[in-house]
């Protein structure tokens, strides 16, 4: 993983006691939230048989693998192996973990030894949705910087710069932010948030605008490939 912090999910979307799989540069990660509300980002592999931990289940402050129930605490340390209930689990059975920050309504992760500053805090944002697009992150960024974000009412929200890892849209003041996750080769996730507290129908309209954006991005790619 490259240096720096990367957005992986909308914070609201990962409920306490649940887990989700995702990818960063094609590497599989698990994002999970323990019962106490703390978010964790790990390599998505049980050290036992390589099963994705995101297929498993959260119990209290641990996540358990679906295959054989091995349980890992918040530090990635294996704490229980059901087939060997009396075993004092060796310290070496551990999952690789990442640093986590919840800022601006987004769960961000960085390499455990990163020296990059944590993403900036930003208040009063309302989550709209995560949008998964079959386009490389550079192409998504270029398209957004050029054409802005489709507006809920048809008029595009102009690109207003990159503010601490969040692309801003709208003038004179930003009304929408998007954090771009380099998901895998040719695939990008956009975590989209609105400024303030829009009503449900306005959030629906913005989510619809995101669908328009996905069609535009992927349609443009299909046209480009057909022309090539």
Partner 1 sequence: MSLVLYDYALDENCYKVRLLLSILGVPHETVAIDMFPGSEHRGPAFLALNPRGTLPALFADGLLLTGAEAILAYLAERFDESGTWLPADPAAFGAVLSWLHFAVDELSAAARARAHAMTDAPADEAAVVAAARAALRLMDDHMTKREFSGGRFFVGETPTIADLALFPAFALSRDYGIDHDEFPALRRWIRRVRAVSGFLTMPGIPDYH
Tell the smallest beta-carbon distance from residue 200 to partner 1 (Å). 4
Give start and end residues of each alpha helix (H) in the chain.
Answer: 137-147, 200-227
Give the residue from 64, 95, 57, 58 showing the smallest Cα distance to 81.
Answer: 64
25 binds partner 1 (CB under 8 A): no
48 binds partner 1 (CB under 8 A): no
Q: Confirm if 10 and 106 have CB atoms less than 8 A apart.
A: yes
Q: Confirm if 40 and 31 have CB atoms less than 8 A apart.
A: yes
Q: Which of 15, 25, 49, 121 binds partner 1 (CB under 8 A)?
A: 15
Q: Which of 55, 93, 111, 216 binds partner 1 (CB under 8 A)?
A: 55
13 binds partner 1 (CB under 8 A): yes
Cα separation, 76 vs 150, whole angstroms? 41
Cα separation, 160 vs 2, whole angstroms? 26
211 binds partner 1 (CB under 8 A): yes
Q: Confirm if 184 and 127 have CB atoms less than 8 A apart.
A: no
Residues 128-187 that bind partner 1 (CB under 8 A): 129-130, 132
Q: Confirm if 41 and 106 have CB atoms less than 8 A apart.
A: no
Tell the smallest beta-carbon distance from residue 162 to partner 1 (Å). 24
21 binds partner 1 (CB under 8 A): yes
Tell the smallest beta-carbon distance from residue 150 to partner 1 (Å). 14
Give SS3 for 181.
strand
Q: Which stretch binds partner 1 (CB under 8 A): 34-42, 72-80, 96-104, 124-132?
A: 124-132
User: Which positions touch partner 1 (CB under 8 A)?
Assistant: 9-10, 13, 15, 18, 20-23, 54-55, 57, 66, 69, 129-130, 132, 189, 200, 203-204, 207-208, 211
């Amino acid at each position: 993983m490259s240096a720096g912090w990367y957005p992986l999910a909308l914070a609201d979307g990962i409920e306490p006691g649940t887990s989700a799989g995702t990818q960063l540069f094609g590497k599989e990660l698990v994002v999970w939230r323990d019962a106490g509300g703390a978010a964790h980002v790990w390599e998505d592999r049980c050290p036992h048989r390589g099963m994705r931990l995101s297929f498993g289940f959260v119990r209290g402050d641990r996540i358990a693998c679906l295959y054989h129930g091995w349980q890992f605490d918040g530090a990635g340390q294996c704490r229980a192996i059901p087939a060997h209930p009396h075993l004092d689990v060796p310290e070496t059975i551990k999952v690789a973990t990442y640093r986590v920050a919840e800022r601006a309504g987004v769960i961000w992760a960085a390499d455990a030894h990163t020296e990059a500053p944590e993403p900036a805090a930003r208040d009063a944002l309302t989550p709209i949705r995560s949008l998964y697009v079959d386009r490389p992150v550079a192409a998504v960024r270029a398209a957004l910087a050029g054409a802005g974000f489709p507006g809920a009412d048809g008029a595009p929200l102009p690109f207003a710069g990159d503010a601490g890892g969040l692309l801003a849209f709208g003038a004179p003041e930003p009304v929408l932010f998007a954090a771009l996750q380099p998901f895998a080769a040719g695939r990008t996730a956009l975590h989209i948030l609105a400024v303030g507290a829009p009503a449900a129908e306005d959030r629906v309209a913005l989510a619809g605008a995101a669908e328009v954006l996905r069609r535009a991005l992927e349609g443009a790619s299909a046209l480009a490939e057909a022309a090539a």
